Amino acid sequence: RAKSAGGNRFELADPEADARAITRHGLTTALPAALDRGEFFIEYQPLVHLGDGSVRGAEALVRWLHPQHGVLGPDRFIPLAEHTGLIVPLGRWVLEQSVRQAREWQERHAAAGPLRINVNLSPCQLTHPGLVQDTVDILEREGLDADALCLEVTESALIGADDDLLKPLRRLAEMGVDIALDDFGTGYSNLANLRRLPVSILKLDRSFTQGMQQFPADPVDLKIVEGIVSLAHSLDLAITVEGVETGAQAEQLRILGCDTAQGWYYARPGPPERLHELALVDATG
């Protein structure tokens, strides 16, 4: 692999890097039309209560059905959409679809309790002046309670955040929208800083869950998660864990006092009908 010390000259001489750059360029220019043509779709991954195993809602995860490349995950195109600004209309579309979907789940499965929807926000959406009004409009138009919506923001997006950045999140939180700190534990956040943020949920990053794969888990990992859980609860924050792949992980995280879990052990991200089935089984059985 070519060293980057030489600048562009070396990168152009690397055919793989070249191909990647061409693909990136192609995807970037195809993005706006893709939104118009309806090539994006959303998969939903259930959020499960660790105490009783019930489905409480789902996280919306966007995908792109590209006519040549097939299904592309968000890691392939969200950074490009952020770079070009398309993330604002794309993010608004994801929010609207997800809120509509949550409303439909609630109507069809009243017995399962008010199912909630989690939607990821990119840092560019946070700084976009329309965020609060767009969210209010969508909730109103689709008829969903603000309480049923959770917006996920990564820890790194809020590091060093000043008041201007936090203001829209505060307004949303005041309306009843939950704000979750996504991928928690991967950034360098000052834990004391948490008190300043209008956040009500910590989503513990998958890297912590991975340390619980064996039973018994790595004692150091256990101590770290135990510490984070007790800190979170003392600040009145709920803990959601990402990337739960085994029953052993689920059990240890439940014993540690985590509140909600998400991962392949329960369900992979899937079409909205899948949540109907899971929530229905749950409510009746």
Residue 251 sits in the site that holds ligand C2E (CB under 6 A): no
User: 27 to 46, contacts with ligand C2E by CB under 6 A?
Assistant: 45
Query: Least Å distance between CB 78 and ligand C2E?
Result: 5
Residue 75 sits in the site that holds ligand C2E (CB under 6 A): yes
Residues that bind Mg ion (CB under 5 A): 120, 152, 182-183, 242
Are 135 and 92 in contact, with CB atoms under 8 Å apart? no
Residue 134 sits in the site that holds ligand C2E (CB under 6 A): no
Task: Give the binding range for ligand C2E (CB under 6 A) out of 192-200, 220-228, 232-240, 258-266.
Answer: 258-266
Q: Which is nearer to ligand C2E, 62 or 237 (CB)?
A: 62
Residue whose CB is nearest to ligand C2E in the complex, by number: 263
Phi, psi torsion values for 202, nearest 5 degrees: -105, 130
Query: Least Å distance between CB 243 and ligand C2E?
Result: 4
Q: Which is nearer to ligand C2E, 121 or 232 (CB)?
A: 121
Query: Least Å distance between CB 101 and Mg ion?
Result: 16
Q: Which is nearer to ligand C2E, 11 or 185 (CB)?
A: 185
Residue 245 binds which of ligand C2E, Mg ion, none (CB < 5-8 A, kind-dependent): ligand C2E
Query: Least Å distance between CB 36 and Mg ion?
Result: 26
Give the binding site for ligand C2E (CB under 6 A): 45, 61-62, 73-75, 78, 91, 94, 120-122, 152, 182-183, 206, 242-245, 262-264, 269
